[in-house]
Chain A
Amino acid sequence: MKPTVVKIDNLVKRYGELVALDHFSLEIKEGEIFGLLGPNGSGKTTTINCLLSLLAYDKGEIEVFGREMTPTCYDIKSEIGVIMQNVAVLDELSVRENIDYFCGLYITDKEKRKACVEEAIRFVGLEDFVNFRPAKLSGGLLRRLNIACGIAHKPKLIILDEPTVAVDPQSRNRILEGIQELNRNGATVIYTSHYMEEVEQICTRIAIMDKGRKIAEGTKEELKGMIRNTESVSIEILELPGEIKEKITHLPHVYETEYDGTKLTVRCSGGKHNLIRILAVLQEAELGFGRVYSELPTLNDVFLEITGTALRDSKE
């Protein structure tokens, strides 16, 4: 069994009346890419700040690499790489100097640091921009620099707090591929995001957060297995008599139907050949229809079913 890298137990953090973290617990094993998924304001960044011992909390325990995490645990901090939500670089330094500066806060050996810096530059693909100042970089390149500053010292635990916010798709893919590569090289990764597609794409295990609480945890398959929905069928149809909608609702494995005047959505729980059975009902009633989609459940469906609101609609 792999050792535990991060253990958060019963963490409570209040901002006055507001409970930002409500008895939040978590355990992350070595080698995982652990996703913290939740809408803005759900407590992801607060969790990370508590984990890094930046933020004082009201109750609970945090252990990193098997030891209690305190602000003066510099040896533990040396093994952690942090990529903040906001770009944290120094405007007066060039790309190479920025990476060297932050790497130097962890590595004292000059030669070793130099090698790490060059490797980090190659890793994020900033070879052509090493002498550029941050102000001259595009948003995507700036994010890559931000990542390079956080990982240059080759940490065992990498924490990425929404690193792809306001990043173009090309840079986003590069960042996600990079995270997977870091993981393949042995780093444990904690990845927070409110983009469920990203979390689904790279994370081996996911915790879904809402209002400071963990509402679900597991692999994406386990999470999807927690909900009733196994398939959503959408059909473009301009006319749907009430009795036909009723008939579809009573088909085996169908538990919910929705019709908005142009599109019929049928949610099924388990079973096979749901689509064929639904189409057969429509053909039998001689109703014409347009495009037909069948979708497997997403993490958004998981969030929707557990909280009653869609993940992407949730506001801070």
Chain B
Amino acid sequence: MFLHNLKYEIKLVLRAKSFIIWLMLFPIILGTLFKVAFGSIYQNETFDTIPVAVVKISENEVFDEMLTALTTGEQPALKAISEEEAKAKEMLFDGDVKGILYVGKTVELSVSGRGMTQTILQEIVGRCRVYETVIRDTMATDPSSLEAVIKELSTEVDACREVPVTQGNPDVYVQYFYNLIAMVAICGCNTGLHVSIDNQANQSVVGARKNCSGTPKSINLTAGLIGSCISQGVSMIFCVTFLRFVLQVNFGGNLLLLYLCSVMAGCLGVAMGFFIGSVGRARFEVKVAIAMSISMVLCFMSGLMMGNIKGILAETAPWANRINPVAIISDSFYCLNIYSDYRRFLTKVLGMGIYIVIFTILGVLFARRKKYASI
């Protein structure tokens, strides 16, 4: 009876429209959107060679040397195009070049508009002016030390040294993907809700029919919960696999533990839904609305819709992050990725486990009734 029930419970969940939409299509769509959005941010951070027009007013050997250095090499900073002033202005107007360098005794820059490229050009010209002044002063005062000065100028001195704090991926945008996985997990509450509703005679006609059958309620409930957890686990594995291997999101750390953790998070979603379904006697639609509203609020509080909300809550109401199941789920992924020891991760996993146990026990206590005051 149990295996028969379990088989059909899994079938029921996997075929449910809400399962296909929220647990299969939703992570694909939202994950892809995240990837596209964050991908373009990274793309903007890559450096491209900046085309500039060079208008020579008079000879400037020092700057010519510097320009040669800036326009050669593996990834040159500038691409210089020598032009007459009128033609250069036309090119700037057409957007073929990002600025015009007027090279005379001093170097002047003309750009159209503002932006990252213009700022970089401004910085380059500023540095050139400083170097030019230093070189000219050296030539005038102590020409013998010119070589040493040029060598010194071309040497990059870094006051900071980069030391990696984690073996994982420190990218802040990965947090959004953690939140997405956490949301998929918590959407499992819809599945858990069905287990409760479909087994209570005063909640659904199917529940009434099951309660009239020769199968004990405990078997129906157990099969329902295990079946839902298995189905939810499948959706979690699918979600993580899609994000990791199709969208190439780098979750760092231990992938096997990430899978296990996400399956556990899915079970937490199921248990939460089961609890909501078992408490009180509202219509099915009302309970679905309650479950979805709670899920969305918890997801919002964990930063799915607004990245910095978690930080705000950490300052104003730190307890909120500690008790929010979605935040616990996403934090567990974060801890797994960032920290080399598993202490923090295990604390979060323990939190999830406690929630699963509490929700399941309370749900069973409410749903175990066998006789009803009214149907």
Contacts and interface: CB of A to CB of B under 8 A. Distances in A.
Contacts of A105: 1, 4-5, 210, 213-215, 220
Interface in B194-218: 201, 204-206, 208-216
Nearest to B209: A88
Nearest to B1: A108
B86 interface: no
B373 interface: yes
B232 to A, nearest CB: 16
A56 B208 CA distance: 14
Contacts of B214: 74-75, 77-78, 105-106
A87 B212 contact: no
Contact of B371 (A71, A92, A106): A71
A108 B213 CA distance: 13
Interface in B220-265: 220
Contacts of B210: 105
Chain A interface size range:
20 to 34
B12 A93 contact: yes
Nearest to A56: B371
B370 interface: yes
Contact of B212 (A56, A82, A104): A82
A234 B275 CA distance: 63
B157 interface: no
Which of B201, B211, B213: most chain A Cβ within 10 A?
B213
A54 B204 CA distance: 13
A86 interface: yes
A97 interface: yes
Contact of A74 (B8, B12, B215, B371): B215
B370 A80 contact: no
B208 A54 contact: yes
A139 to B, nearest CB: 15
Contacts of A89: 206
A84 B208 contact: yes
Given A55-B374, A71-B370, A74-B216, A104 B208 contact: no
Interface of A: 15, 49, 52-56, 71-72, 74-75, 77-78, 80, 82, 84, 86-90, 92-93, 97, 101-102, 104-106, 108, 149-150
